[in-house]
Structures are given as structure tokens and as C-alpha cells.
Amino acid sequence: MSDRIVEMVLKFRTVLQTTEQLEPTEITAYQQQLLEPLLRHAQRNVPFYRERLMPILSTGGLDMSRWANVPILTRAEALTNVSALTAKVIPPHVGVVSASETSGSTGIPLPHKKNELMDVASLGMTDRLYRWWKFNGNLALASFISPFKEFGPPPDGSRKVEWRPGYPKGCLLYT
């Protein structure tokens, strides 16, 4: 994990610690402040969402009371509209974009694009769980599931240092 990603995760950690304590009305306002630019970007740059987001964006502002009028994206739609679901313009602040796919555990793998900001969000939310569960990132953590395609076979497995951002003494053991 690059130093830049670690730094972003640590910043996101602080944001999560602050926002998780907000009152319901405050968290709703905070979420809408983040959602509106994201939804406007999707409507402008993701062909699939150009018309689909009209129920909540057609009034000039974001109308969350009409959220139920936005059809749920089905897996079948996602599989048949991969290109139309890909943004034509990517803001530079999201970082490097790369191709990925789901594991296919429920059927056919779903190809998609991901960016570094998605990785930061995922790592940050996992870090929040570690904090809630009081996992000490400076200790070793063992896992039977490796995120790597190739890992060392038992009994030695593989090691990854600093498995939790900001805790440089910990190591993750894959067997």
C-alpha cells in the first residue's frame, strides 16, 4: 500500500470517527452534500444513468424524497451494460482507474472499473470495524483467505507488514 493511500485512509479514519457520532438529521445533511455532486457526475458522464437519475435531479436540486423512483440496478442490467455504466470522464481526485471484476461466487463475474478512492473507502470502513472490535493493528493477524492470487502454502504462508494503516508493527499472516 502506497504512502499516499495510507495517508488518505488515515484522513478517512478521522472523518468516519467524526461523522459516525452525528445526529440523524446531521448525517442525512452530510450524506446529501456528498451525494449530490456524485449523482450529478453520474448523470453527466455515465450514459446508463443519464435518464435513470431524472426523478431525483430533474427539479434543479437533489430531491431525495423521490429516491424510490430511481429503478434498482439489477445484476442482469449491469452485465449487459458494462460500457454504458462506465464514466466517460473521471475526476482526477479519485486516483488511478483500473479494471477489476467480482469473484463470480454467485454466477458470472461482473467486470467493472475501480479507482483508488474506492480502495481508500473500503480500507477505511474495514479499519473502522477493526477500531470498533478493538483489533490492535500492531499485533499479528492470521487469515485463511488471501487477497493475493499466489500465496505461500501452509504451514509457512505469506506475510504482509502493516496490515492496518497507521500501525507499522503489525503483520498479516496468510496460510
Q: Give CA–CA dist 8/2, Å, rounded.
A: 10
pLDDT at 87 over 70: yes
Q: What was the pLDDT predicted at 172?
A: 81
Q: How confident is residue 155, by pLDDT bands cut at 50, 70 and 90? A: low
Q: Give CA–CA dist 95/151, Å, rounded.
A: 27
pLDDT at 29 over 60: yes
pLDDT at 60 over 90: no
Q: Which residue, 165, 170, 169, is CA-closest to 16?
A: 165
Residue with cell 446508463: 48
This model's pTM is above 0.85: no
Residue 124 has a CB neighbour count (10 Å cut-off) of 19
Segment 117-140 mean pLDDT: 94
Q: Which residue, 78, 64, 14, 12, is CA-closest to 35?
A: 64
pLDDT at 68 over 80: yes
